[in-house]
Structure 1
Amino acid sequence: MGKAGDVVRIKLRNNTSIDHAANPHVIFDILKQHFSDLTHSSMPLADFYNTLPMPGEDAMEYWIRLNKTVDVADEYLKRQGRSIDDPGHEVSMMFIKYCPDQSLAGVFKFKSAERWSACEIQERLDEHMQGQKGQAATVRSLKPSTVEHKVHSQCHVPMADNTPAPNTTVPSVPSPVPMTNAVVDNVCMRSLVNLLDRLVTQQTQVPAHPRVQTAVPNSFQKVCRVCRASDHSTLAHCRKEDRCLKCLSPGHWKRDCPDQTNQRRFQPANGAGRQDRQLN
């Protein structure tokens, strides 16, 4: 009926070599070729070996699809007078090689792929699926109501017996929406972020009398008096080129500077000079 009937009728009309009365299975083959989800071509073995895991496909779905594909390939080969020697072995090899579940693929590494039978793979796959169901049931057992009750119990503050109860008359409000796991996670995350902010603020507070060196403007930075560069000092330049630190002339040091000798020669013996300098 419908499109399927049209496809079969047109196929039989255009191909007179097909005797559907003697071999009714050809009708089923036509339907599978046009409407099956599995790949079906003139190279059935190539279709089977190109059956790779699809994005988001779990291990059980891939195992079922491999078995269905090998059945289609074996059926097509039988119509050609050939067959697959051991379909279960071929499916096992493909599943171990391209297993989409990493934890299950690690189980198959305990021995070589040739030593795994289809029965053993089926048992390991069933155990793996049961383990996943158990984990999902454990997660579902954590009901949002239990988490909400714990949050409200932690926020409860008992009052003293002698303290009069305050006036708590408030207009009626709708009942709160039950907190889900996502809401509880957001509340916990905000509390953790606020705690970290307070901790960082306390650690970065400036003390009462900080000893902070004020930045010296560029105009007051010391520069070399010899070459007027700011990347080194006058002392370093004089030591490098054997210069006098007083007159900046090469060939002698500060203790042997002629200017310093003349200054000592004409310095007064009494303290009049010092008094004059103080007055100036």
Structure 2
Amino acid sequence: MRLFNKVALVTGAAQGIGKAIAELFVKEGAIVILSDINDDKGKQVCDDINITRQQWHESKPAEYLHLDVSSERDWQHAAQHIEQQYHGLDILVNNAGITGFLETSGAHDPEHLDMASWHKVHQVNLDGVALGCKTAIALMKNRSTDEGSNASIVNISSRSGMVGIPLAAAYASSKAGVRNHSKSVALYCAQNGYDIRCNSIHPAAIYTPMWDAMLGEAAARKEAIKAISKDIPLGYMGGVMDVAYAALYLASDESKYVTGTELTIDGGILAGSTAVPAHSDE
């Protein structure tokens, strides 16, 4: 029960990493508000959690809230609900994000980039995190905590926020912004004496639904995963729980002296490998 009685909000919780984080947080004793724009999936995940975990809780440990992270109005509505229902917030996981490949028309390389697509990716990935941090600070700064405990903001960035990605410039740029903004938030909260920490997580080669469009089907998917795994020092793609347990550490009081840092979950990719851009034969 590493998060016993803590109130947590997880964005993008309808699938993938967000879903795994929400499920783990409830298992560890938190009251979790799952949010997403995919209401059908999000509500189903929430219902499944409540059915599974209610035997350990007097009341339902999870609820679902519609939240478009790029909308300041949605964040204001979320803040009002959380303040009224829970009188504050202990943990925020800014997980919601898009690559832009499926959600926009593109292109995403630096030479031909489509500005509407560029703005859409940044609105979700970076503006969404900035709005989340702004909202969380207001909900957390007056929250009374036990001695040795503090509030925590966990921002899900990416390996792409630390290196260049030639064909996904908007995604890489937005995730780099998440990395840097996390440090600004951490220092701002410390400077103002707020008992709030902020850190970022940088996953890479984590098998989630976000990969579906890129991996193909059946035999082609197996070959694609095999090819990707060859470039990972540990030799295999990670799973959503690898990221969820990292988020659990940063959300818990075990990391009460950790702020403004980044945690890379990539099987060793950035430990010393060299990224060489692919060259056209033309």
TM-score, normalised relative to structure 1: 0.22
* Structure number with higher relative contact order (C-alpha < 8 Å, ≥ 6 residues apart): 2
Query: Which structure has the bigger radius of gyration?
Result: 1
Structure having the higher strand fraction is 2
TM-score normalized with structure 2 length: 0.22
